[in-house]
A and B are shown apart, each in its own frame.
Chain A
Amino acid sequence: MVAIVDYGVGNLFSLKSALDRIGMQAIVTGNAEKIKAADRMILPGVGAFGDAAQKLRAHGLDKVICDEAKKGKPLLGICLGMQMLFEKSYEYGEHEGLGLLAGSVVPMKDKLPQDLKIPHIGWNSLCFTGNAPSLLFQYIKNGDFVYFVHSFYADGCSDSLIATAEYGIPLTAAVQKGNVFGTQFHPEKSGETGLKILRAFCDA
């Protein structure tokens, strides 16, 4: 059973549908006991970092997720959910993240060549880093396309970086450290490739 953490941010219909499609039992829940009882956790999220982190804390779920992850339960953060795995975000101010991964979330503005648009919206190809691909990529190939929508990106995370996407600069596309996984892109919106990544997370 996969717990899709519901803390009142974003649209979870597609993610639940994608897990249904690959035959994974999943529940959308904000209940701490149900998250503890699940085998795996997915932390989704869209919108602003500060607001989302505050909602997660208001529901008391930040501690539950961190405790479960530290016990070894596989966790996948998606988009803003991935950004929240890090220590800090500088999205409109300075906000504390979950601190499960080293690094911080910074704006693309002023970092990209002038002619590139922000947000980074669309299908971009994955560039695996490191010697061997992460377990998350066991069913896909280097260079496969995934769907991104974001204006901020994770920086200073070389020890967990498993893939980048080229957009003037190499943007952090996916991270992993042990049982903690994160994708900046939306696997639930990335066609067959995305479903294979979700499958891999469920098998990891």
Chain B
Amino acid sequence: MITKRIIPCLDVKDGRVVKGVNFKGISDVSSPVELADYYSKNGADELVFYDITASFEGRKLFTDILKEVAKTIFIPLTVGGGINTLADFDRVLKCGADKVSVNSGAIKNPQLIYDAAKKYGDQCVVLSADIKRVNGAFHVFLNGGRIDTGMDAIEWIKKGVDSGAGEIVVNSIDTDGVKKGFDLPMLRAVCDAVSVPVIASGGAGGIDDFVTLFQTLPQVDAGLAASIFHFGEVTIPALKAVLKQNGIPVRIEREF
């Protein structure tokens, strides 16, 4: 039986993992390779790396680290951040990424999704959207939630899937960093609109939030979080044990 995926997300800047709260006030947490290895050994089903570096040197450092991660752990790796062209896809796929997540790069150039899906396959292209309510409507935002594109998020995601996006990450800016649970109404709206896997992001504060997520919306395929894992507030073995007790299918490789 297919299982619900638990995905820690690692924001990487200058070779170190950082995590912002509501995308502001970033603090240094740990080494990407060590953290990736730790998560893999503890039952993470997949890892997401976001490159939040702006400089060319930083990009090079990021791909060097990605290679180290891909040599160390053998679970799926998704890479995002700074993906604007097919050359960017190529750059990270050659370093061991399995999937590439596009966000602002696809907003600036929607053709990118189509071209990448055609070249690397739908399964390789993840569309990640930062979404916030504006006067009751879901809008797509740019630059970590600072710029309103004015675009309707559901229409944007539908268009992305039609162009070839094989998975969707729904990141609610309204619930991100608040730690009071995933944005269920927003996720429901996305799940109703598309038939590809949907990954929930933004708002996890504890184990119960994942239970609520998968019980309320069984259509959601995965839950993504960062700080609660990085700061050890929730461990993945404990999370998966509770999910299993609640009848939610999860992968448990060994007994802890």
Known contacts A11-B94, A47-B120, A191-B253: A121-B167 contact under CB 8 Å: yes
- A97-121 interface with B by 8 A CB criterion: 115, 117-121
User: Would you call B121 and A46 a contact (CB within 8 A)?
Assistant: yes
Which of B8-16, B69-77, B181-189, B224-232 forms part of the interface with chain A?
A: B69-77
Contact code string A58-86 (vs B, CB < 8 Å = 1, else 0) = 00000000000000000000000000000
* Cβ-defined partner of B2 (8 Å) among A46, A122, A150, A192: A122
Given A11-B96, A145-B253; A122-B74 close (CB under 8 Å): no
Q: Would you give the shortest CB distance from B244 to chain A, in whole angstroms? A: 13
- Kindly list chain B residues whose C-beta atoms are within 8 Å of the C-beta of A192: 74, 253
Contact status A11-B98, CB under 8 Å: yes
Residues of B within 8 A of A11 (CB): 93-94, 96-98
CB of B75 within 8 A of CB of A122, answer: no
User: Of A13, A46, A48, A195, which one neighbours B95 at CB under 8 angstroms?
Assistant: A13
Q: Is B91 interfacial (CB-CB < 8 Å)?
A: no
Q: Which residues of A contact B70 (CB under 8 A)?
A: 13-14, 17
Shortest B78–chain A CB gap in Å is 11
A182 interface residue, CB < 8 Å from B? no
Secondary structure call for the B interface: loop
When the two chains form the complex, which single residue of B75, B94, B122 contacts A119, counting CB atoms closer than 8 Å? B122
A194-B74 in contact given A13-B95, A145-B251 (Cβ < 8 Å) = yes
Report whether A147 and B76 are in contact in the complex, using a CB–CB cutoff of 8 Å: yes
Cα(A46)–Cα(B40), bound, Å: 24
Beta-carbon contact of B75 and A191 below 8 Å: yes
Say yes or no: A123 contacts B3, CB within 8 Å: yes
Instruction: Decide if A24 is an interface residue (CB 8 Å cutoff).
Output: no
Cβ contacts B137-180/A at 8 Å (1 or 0 each): 00000000000000000000000000000110000000000000
Contact partners of A195 in chain B: CB under 8 A? 74
A11, B26: Cα distance in complex, Å: 33
Residues of A within 8 Å of B74, CB to CB, are 14, 17-18, 21, 188-192, 194-195
- Contacts A17-B71, A119-B166; is A189 near B76 (CB within 8 Å)? yes
B-contact bits for A148-169, CB 8 A (1 contact / 0 none): 0111000000000000001100
Cα A191 to Cα B120 with chains together (Å): 23
CA of A145 to CA of B3, assembled, Å? 9
B98 touches A123 (CB 8 A): no
* Interfacial chain B residues near A194, Cβ < 8 Å: 74
| Nearest CB of A to B93, in Å | 5
Whether the pair A20, B71 counts as a contact (CB closer than 8 A) is yes
A121 to B67, CA, bound (A): 23
Cβ contact within 8 Å between B195 and A189: no
Whether B197 sits at the interface, judged by CB under 8 Å, is yes
Q: What is the CB-to-nearest-CB distance from B206 to chain A, in angstroms, rounded to a whole number?
A: 23
Question: B95 and A149: CB pair below 8 A?
Answer: no
- Compute how far the CA of A150 lies from the CA of B124 in the bound complex, rounded to whole angstroms: 11
Please give 7 more A-B residue pairs, beta carbons under 8 A apart, in addition to A117-B195, A121-B166, A147-B76: A13-B94, A13-B95, A14-B96, A21-B71, A21-B74, A47-B121, A122-B222
